[in-house]
Amino acid sequence: MFDLIAIIAAIVFVILVLQLRAMLAMPFLKQTARCVAGDWSPLLAAEDVIAVANREWSTLGFTGPQWLSITPQPIAAANVRAIACWRRESDGTLAFLVPMFLAETPNRCISYLATRLADGRTLVSQPSDPFFAITATSEEPAQLLAPAPMKDILAAHALFVARHGVAAPDATSDSVIVDLAGRWMNTRRERLIRRGDLVESSDGIARPRLGFALRALRAFWSRPKWPANSEPIPPARLTQIAQTSARIRERAPTAAMQWLLFVVSVALFMVVGGIVFGLQFALILLVVIAIHEAGHYLAMRAFGYRNVQMLALPLVGGVTVGHETHPRATHRAWMSLMGPLPGIVIGWLLLVIALTQHSENWLLYSAWVFLAINYLNVVPVPPLDGGHIVQAMLPARWYGLRIGFLVLACLIGAGVAIAFGLVVPALIVLLQLGQVSGLLQNRRAIKRVLAHGGVPPAALHARKLRAVFDALEQEIGPATRSQPRIAQAEDIVRSLDVVPMSRSSRLLTGGVYAALLAVPLAVLAMTVGVGGFTDPSPAATSKSPDEIAQRRAVVFNTLADADIDRLLTSFERPVWWQRWFFGASDWAVAADEAAIAATEQRIGRELPDELRAFYRLHDGFMRIDLGGVAEIVAVPEPVAAEAAVTALDTPFVVVSASNDGDVALRLGYDNLLACYAIGRLPNQELATHPPWPGLLWCPRLESSQATIVNTRTRHAYRDFTLYLRDHAADQQTRLDD
C-alpha cells in the first residue's frame, strides 16, 4: 500500500510541476488590433459556437459581431488570431468572444464582458476563466463569475459597473473596441511588469515570475468550472485544440526557472528519502537516478526534443519529459537506452574497484544500487525503458505486432513480479493493458487513412491531424472528450511520420540491448532454477521447523573446535556464479595494527584476543552486525538510560558452548554503561542511537558467562568466537536447506 501511495503521489507531483512549468512559460506579448470585415468563424472552426453566441447576445440587446484581427509582437512568438465583439449601446457593455478552444471546454469559447467607464477605467467580468481576475489592478478592476446563463452574467456585470461608476459616452465605439483589444491589453502587461509579476526578456516576451505563476495556478485550480462537455467535438476543432496543446508543451520557461524546479525536486527527494530510507541510501539513490535521467536528458537534447525537463520524484525515482519534434525510431530507442546504459557501466566499474581494491562497504553497496536499478529498467516490460526500446524497434505502423508485444510483455512481467511478491509493480504493469483498446482503434484508423491515399509526408502537421481525426470519427464515432482523442491522433501521426530504423541501426541497437538484457535474464534464470543453476534434487526440498532446528544443532556442534578462519568460510557464497557475480563475500578489508592500537588507547581498554584477531582479518562485517574498529565507542549515558527503560529490561538468552540456551541474563542500566558499542546495523548510522545500541562488548558481564551481547537478536555470548560460531551455524543451515 505504501508503494502505491508513493507512486500516486509521484504522478500528482509530476502533473503539478508540468502545470507550473506551463504557467511559467506562458508568454505575455504586446499586441495590436484592428477591425476586419467578414465572418472569420469558419477559419477558426467556430461557426456553431459563434452562431449560438450571436443568438444569445441578440436577445439581450447586443449587435454584432465585429471581428478584430490580433497581431502579436514579436509576431514569431505566436500566431495571428481573431476575436469577435458584440456591443450594447444602451449601457455601454461590450461582449468579447475569443475562439480559442481549450481541452477542458472544447465546445466553448473564452468570453468576457467589458465596460469603459467615464473616468477612463475599464471593468471586466469573466465567467470561469480567472485570467482578468489574477491580472487585475486597482486601476483596472475585474471579477471572476461562476458559469451561468448569459443574462445572469450580464446582470452581475451591470451591478459591478454600478458600484464603480457609469459607462463612458463612447464606450461602444470602434475606437474603444480596438483599444480594449490592443493598447489596453499592453497597458495591463506593463503594469504587471512594474508590479513584479512578470519579467521581460531581451526578445520582448514577458513571462510570469514564480510567485505570480503559483497564484495563477492556484486560481486556475479553484476557478468555477463549466459543466463537462457532452456534445460531439468537430474534427476541425479537435485539430485546433491539438495545435494549441502542442504549442503549450513546446513552450519552455526560462533556464533559471527550470533549474529551480529541478533543485526543488531534488531537495524534496532528499528530505522525504532521508526520512524513509536514511540519508546515506537517499543520497546514493539520488546519484543513481540523476545519472540515469541525465542520460535521457542529454539524448533528448541531442535528438532535438523541445522543452526537456528532468525531475527527481520522491520515493519513486525520476522522470525526464520533452516534446518530440522529428520522430525517428533510432532516436527513440537510443533515448531510452541512454538512461540505464551509463548507470550500468558505472555500476560495473564501482563493483570491480570494490572487489579488487577491497574498498569500503558503501562503495560495494553503491555498485549494487547502480546495477539493480538500471538492470531493472532494461527489462522489456512497459512502462520500463526496456519496453520502450523494444517498441521503438518494432515497425511503427504494425499495430498488431505492437499490441501482441504489449500483451505478452505485461502478462509475463506481471507474473514474474507476483512470483517475487511484488504486487504493486505487477498492478502497474497490468494497467498498461488498458492501452490495448486504444491501439486497436488506432490500427483501424491508420488503415482507413492509408486506404484513402494517406497523407503526404511533407503535408502540414495540421492537415495530418485533420485527416486522422476524420478517420477516427468514422471508425469509432465522434468524440465528446478532447484529450483522449487528441492523444490517439498524435500517436497515429507519429506512426505515420516516424523514420524507421535502417537494418544496420536495428542490428546495432538490438545488439547493445541484448547485451544489457543478458544480465537480468541470467539472474532471473538463476533465481528460479532454470538451466541447472540450482540443485533440483529431492534433498533440496523444504524441511519442517523441527528438522531445521535439529540440523542447526548438529552444525553448531561440528563447529565447536573451529577457529575464526574456519568459521568465516561458512559465510562465503557456495555457488560459482554467485562468487563470480557478487564476489566471495561482502566483508571489509583488514584493520591495521595502528587503528587497533588507537582504538584501545581511546577507550582505555584492550580488546579481547578473539575480537582483535578478527579485526586483523576484516575491519567489520555487516552480515553479523559488526562495525569497524574505529567505530567502537562506549555506550553514551542517554542511550543507556533510554534503552534500559524501553528495550533492554527483558531477559537475554545466553548461548552456551553446547547451545543449550537455558540461561537468562538481564542487562540493566549500570551494566549497559560499562559496555562498548561495536556494531553497525544494516543501512543505519552508528548503532549508538536509542533504543538499540546494537552489538555490545560488555567486559563486566564475564561472571555471567557473557561478554558479547546482540540487542537485535537478544542473545548473549561468552566470547566473540562463540558469537561468530552461532551466526556461522545459521548461515550453513540456511544454505543446506
Please tell me whether residue 283 adopts helix, strand or coil conformation.
helix
C-alpha–C-alpha distance, residues 668 and 665, integer Å = 10
pLDDT in tens, 295-350: 999 999 999 898 899 999 888 888 999 888 888 999 999 999 999 999 999 998 88
Over residues 470-477, the mean pLDDT reads: 92
Give the mean pLDDT of the chain.
83
Amino acid 461: pLDDT:
84
Over residues 477-492, the mean pLDDT reads: 91
SS3 percent helix, strand, coil of the chain, rounded to 5, is: 55, 15, 30
Over residues 618-636, the mean pLDDT reads: 82
C-alpha–C-alpha distance, residues 692 and 673, integer Å = 14
Over residues 256-272, the mean pLDDT reads: 90
pLDDT in tens, 149-179: 999 999 999 999 999 999 999 999 999 999 9
Q: Give the pLDDT band (50/70/90) at residue 672.
A: confident
Please tell me whether residue 236 adopts helix, strand or coil conformation.
helix
- Alpha-helical regions (H) of 196-278: 210-222, 235-250, 255-277
Amino acid 418: pLDDT:
86
Amino acid 668: pLDDT:
73
User: Does pLDDT of 376 surpass 50?
Assistant: yes
Over residues 93-111, the mean pLDDT reads: 90
Please tell me whether residue 328 adopts helix, strand or coil conformation.
strand
User: Does pLDDT of 136 surpass 50?
Assistant: yes
Q: What is the pTM of this model?
A: 0.69
Class of residue 706 by CB neighbours under 10 A (exposed 0-12, middle 13-18, buried 19+): buried
Over residues 685-690, the mean pLDDT reads: 40
441-455, 487-501, 598-612: range with lowest mean pLDDT: 441-455
Cell numbers at residue 264, please? 526543488
From the list 293, 269, 263, the residue with the least C-alpha distance to 281 is 269
From the list 678, 677, 683, 593, the residue with the least C-alpha distance to 639 is 677
pLDDT in tens, 558-589: 877 777 777 777 776 554 444 444 444 555 67
C-alpha–C-alpha distance, residues 231 and 238, integer Å = 13
Q: Give the pLDDT band (50/70/90) at residue 652.
A: confident
Amino acid 686: pLDDT:
39
C-alpha–C-alpha distance, residues 79 and 243, integer Å = 11
Q: Give the pLDDT band (50/70/90) at residue 697.
A: confident
Instruction: Kindly report the backbone phi and psi dihedral angles of residue 165, in degrees, each rounded to the nearest multiple of 5, phi listed first.
Output: 150, -155
Cβ contacts of 8-16, under 8 Å, gap ≥ 24: 9/314, 9/315, 10/313, 10/314, 10/315, 10/316, 10/317, 13/265, 13/313, 13/314, 14/311, 14/313, 14/319, 14/321
Report yes or no: 184 and 104 within 8 Å, Cβ to Cβ.
no
